[in-house]
Amino acid sequence: MAKSTKYVFVTGGVLSGLGKGITAASLGNLLKARGLSVNIQKLDPYLNVDAGLLNPAEHGECFVTCDGAETDLDLGHYERFLDQELTQSSSVMAGRVIRNVIDDERAGKYVGKTVQYIPHVTQAFHKYISTAAEGFDVHIVEVGGTVGDYESLAIIESIREFGYKVGRDNSLFVHVVYLPYLGASQEIKTKPAQNAVRDLRGFGISPDVLVGRSEAPAPDSVIQKLSMFSGVATEAIALLPNAASIYEVPLTLEDSGLADVICKRLGLEADKSDLTEWRQMVEGATKQHAKTVKVGVVAKYMDNTDTYMSVFEAIKAAAWANDVDVDIQWIDAEKLESKQDIPKILSAVDGVVVPGGFGKRALEGKISAAQYCLDQKFPYLGICLGLQMAVVAAARNGGLADATSEELDPDGQNLVISTMAGQKGKENTGGTMRLGNQNCHLAEGSQAAAAYGTTNIVERHRHRYECNNNYRDQFERWGISASGINPDNDLVEVIEGINHPFFMASQFHPEFKSRPNHAHPMFDGFIKALL
């Protein structure tokens, strides 16, 4: 008889942004280190169908899975902590679930029943949970938002019902709460956490595990107090103060014994944990290195530090792999539109990364940055939009003064970057871009092939515009080469500068496959060039 999957539900109280995603990912890391097969999933209360059209200034980056799902940035944390690829089943937004319920109602599948949030929407969530969990020892489910939010009520009720359905021996609830520090009395206060537990119980869920987040370390006496007023055993309470690196969190939870508590509570037969490689990575991430490199990220989304989360984490991972510290500096792309300011701004860093984005704002600044890097033999790594602007820059440097992108000037005469034929008329709809894994063949002897150590790679995509193949025969005259080509559709995937120490750009998003303990080849090559 096959073993039943065990379910771990992670909720949050008091306020948003506590680190539920990091907590869920860390628990997955620890359970996987014990030899268990683990999957992880995010249930978000938004009425969006997916994260593709969410504003990055509000929600941070859109993370793309190997099968092309546009998801919340927490899936990036999940993949980096578990070191495994997830699929669209790991990201479920309420809009997608409700749309399916309505479609079923229109198709007559409810046979005249009155369709309601309970039981129809809540049971629809059950299907997404159980489908994603198939074949795994443990399935972790993070609930977005904060317990008590009106929009989250159906999801909270759904996981309550699900826990009841699979039984107490197969389900466990982790509640992440906030422990504020009150300066006037110089103490950590537990009342908000107590109230958060009371809120969760009000919806019929008694937490089995508490994780207390705080800005500063809390005294052990807080555990006793939380236990007294929440009914959660002291050994099932962990305190998580702010850490120097988010990758320390699994080690903090391991030291607290929380993973062992979860294994015992769920009756999991697990091996002794092996965190040797993870500890080595964390040591490299947190120690002071002898050398520091300065990386300028030429950004157009400056409102939220999470807008380029995976890019920043990939840069850091490559720096740690090369035993250096990294100082990442934001560079406002709009400030580079005045070309006389570029030398002063870029001379403050050792190299630049130009990440992805959408819309024509600040594109001229990104083009100017690429032109400078080409002219001055300055290290450049372009990602998606960073490749497109690099091609425009090279074309202009090569004498095609009016070279442009269809995104920047749809009526331009020389659109060296243009919309794919299949994308015409779909510019404002979600889920219509080239998404997910695509093949790429790298040219023998290219910088890209040297970085990867192979010529055949698979990388993830999220874009609508492409290099216009009508101009490809002019690349070498412009000082660049198409060193990576998609063998299935003959589209340009990688370009690099000719006779340039490091000028490389990809149409795909290499940051999505970077891991803290396994630096991505393109970022690794970039950091090596800076050294």
Q: Residue 177 is encoded by which pair of tokens?
A: 């709460």
Contact 374, 497 (CB under 8 A): yes
Query: What region, left, alpha or beta, does residue 315 occupy, with left being phi > 0 and alpha being psi -120 to 50 degrees?
Result: alpha
Q: Which of 328, 354, 314 is nearest to 495 (CA)?
A: 354
Give me the catalytic one of 70, 313, 459, 511.
Answer: 511
**Measured distance CA(136)–CA(1) in Å, rounded:** 15
Q: Which of 307, 249, 293 is nearest to 57 (CA)?
A: 307
Is 384 a catalytic site residue?
A: yes
| Amino acid identity at 456 | N
Q: What is the DSSP string of 339-370?
A: GGGHHHHHTTSSEEEE----SSTTHHHHHHHH
Residues 437, 443, 449, 453, Cα dihedral to 10°: 90
**How many CA atoms are closer than 13 Å to the CA of 456, on its beta-carbon side?**
2
SS (H, E, C) 2-26: CCCCEEEEEEECCCCCCCHHHHHHH
Residues 466, 467, 468, 469, Cα dihedral to 10°: -120
The per-type count for the chain, helices as H runs and strands as E runs, is 18, 23
Is 313 a catalytic site residue?
A: no
Give me the catalytic one of 77, 175, 509, 520.
Answer: 509
Give me the catalytic one of 62, 263, 373, 384.
Answer: 384
Is 373 a catalytic site residue?
A: no
Q: Residue 312 is encoded by which pair of tokens?
A: 């920043």
Residues 95, 100, 106, 111, Cα dihedral to 10°: -130
* Residues facing residue 10 across a β-bridge: 142, 174
Catalytic residue numbers, as ranges:
384, 509, 511
